[in-house]
């Protein structure tokens, strides 16, 4: 990330003043301060984690790869048989309006589709439950604090395996985080920053909010299955192609992760993050590796230059 990065976001240079600088939300057709957004406790989105979601970042007043995020969000909704009333173009407009209402230049922008519950008298089945959209924009959220990103993440391989893709499709972002949460507690108990989860065959999958990459003899590899097809992951794959760095999408055994020359993570909440310790093993010289740093710096430089950027429309109409 840029050296001047701070954890708070600057106000936008826009004609319309920010109404809700702490964050703005859209709930089922209405806009409000993020602190007022509520989900009914009886809805299946809450009671059954029957939700899909996506998160897009805004940096320096522009969305990054918004088309890709909207495309994945729609694919996730279709996979989970969720269909809100809003079209993709309407969702795009909602996200722009949320960032404008907050006035944020650097923002974390989430979109959720939740299943409600059947109306009284209807069969108690998800096919009869109404689907609705929720979204919000808040100051940019970092997966790990900037000082951790600078020194490199300290990771563990969690003992809890990833939920198998045959049960929950990892390609559709979802709230089934029991495995991730167990891994986070395990990492905390061991003094690490974050966990990496394996599948039931002992192969690398992903972690809470990030994809995983290994570098061995100059070749980058990342898991092909039981992982979210991350947008930042896609960006790393694109950058590897541009920079002439071999990149393979395939099964990554645990042994390869443990013996890798470099390990790094990719996430909307921070870009490329180097790993400097894995289960206590120090990688390299306890600093992010050279290829990791090259990808990290190129990623942020390209974003600063407008790569896959969509400027936020901060000009709001006069009516509420």
Q: State the CATH architecture for 24-141.
A: 2-Layer Sandwich (3.30)
List C-alpha distances in Å: 105 to 93, 96, 102, 114, 233: 17, 12, 9, 28, 23
Strand partners, 214: 221, 263
Instruction: For residue range 57-96, list pLDDT tens digits in order.
Output: 999 999 999 999 999 999 999 999 999 999 999 999 999 9
- Cα 184 from Cα 182, distance rounded (Å): 5
User: What pLDDT sits at residue 8?
Assistant: 32
Where exactly does CATH 3.20.10.10 map onto the chain? 146-304
Where exactly does CATH 3.30.470.10 map onto the chain? 24-141
- Cα 264 from Cα 247, distance rounded (Å): 13
C-alpha torsion sign, points 37, 15, 60, 172:
positive
User: What pLDDT sits at residue 7?
Assistant: 31
Average predicted confidence (pLDDT) for the chain: 93
User: What pLDDT sits at residue 4?
Assistant: 34
- Cα 89 from Cα 263, distance rounded (Å): 38
What CATH number should be reported for the domain whose range is 146-304? 3.20.10.10
Mean pLDDT, each 10-residue run in order, the chain (320 residues): 36 64 96 96 95 98 98 98 97 98 97 95 94 98 94 97 96 96 98 98 98 98 97 98 98 98 97 97 95 98 97 77
């Amino acid at each position: 990330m840029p050296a001047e990065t701070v954890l708070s976001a600057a106000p936008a240079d826009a004609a319309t003043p920010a109404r809700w600088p702490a964050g703005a939300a859209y709930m089922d057709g209405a806009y409000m301060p993020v602190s007022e957004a509520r989900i009914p406790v009886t809805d299946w989105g809450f009671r059954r984690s029957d939700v899909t979601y996506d998160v897009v970042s805004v940096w320096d007043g522009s969305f990054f790869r918004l088309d890709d995020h909207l495309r994945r969000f729609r694919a996730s909704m279709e996979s989970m048989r969720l269909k809100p009333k809003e079209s993709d173009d309407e969702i795009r407009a909602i996200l722009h309006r949320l960032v404008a209402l907050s006035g944020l230049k650097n923002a974390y922008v989430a979109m959720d589709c939740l299943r409600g519950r059947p109306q009284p008298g209807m069969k108690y089945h998800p096919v009869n439950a109404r689907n609705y959209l929720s979204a919000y924009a808040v100051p940019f959220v970092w997966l790990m604090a900037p000082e951790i990103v600078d020194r490199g993440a300290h990771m563990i391989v969690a003992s809890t395996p990833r939920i198998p893709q045959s049960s929950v499709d990892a390609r559709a972002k979802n709230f089934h985080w029991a495995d991730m949460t167990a891994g986070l507690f395990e990492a905390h108990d061991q003094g690490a920053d974050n966990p990496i989860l394996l599948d039931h065959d002992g192969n690398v999958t992903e972690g809470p909010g990030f994809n995983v990459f290994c570098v061995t003899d100059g070749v980058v590899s990342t898991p092909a299955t039981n992982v979210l097809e991350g947008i930042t992951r896609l960006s790393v794959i694109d950058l590897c192609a541009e920079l002439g760095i071999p990149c393979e999408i395939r099964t990554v055994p645990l042994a390869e992760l443990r013996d890798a020359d470099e390990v790094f993570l990719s996430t909307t909440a921070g870009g490329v993050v180097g790993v400097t310790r894995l289960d206590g093993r120090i990688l390299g010289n306890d600093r992010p590796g050279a290829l990791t740093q090259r990808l990290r710096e190129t990623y942020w430089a390209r974003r600063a230059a407008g790569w896959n950027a969509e400027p936020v429309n901060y000009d709001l109409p006069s009516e509420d």
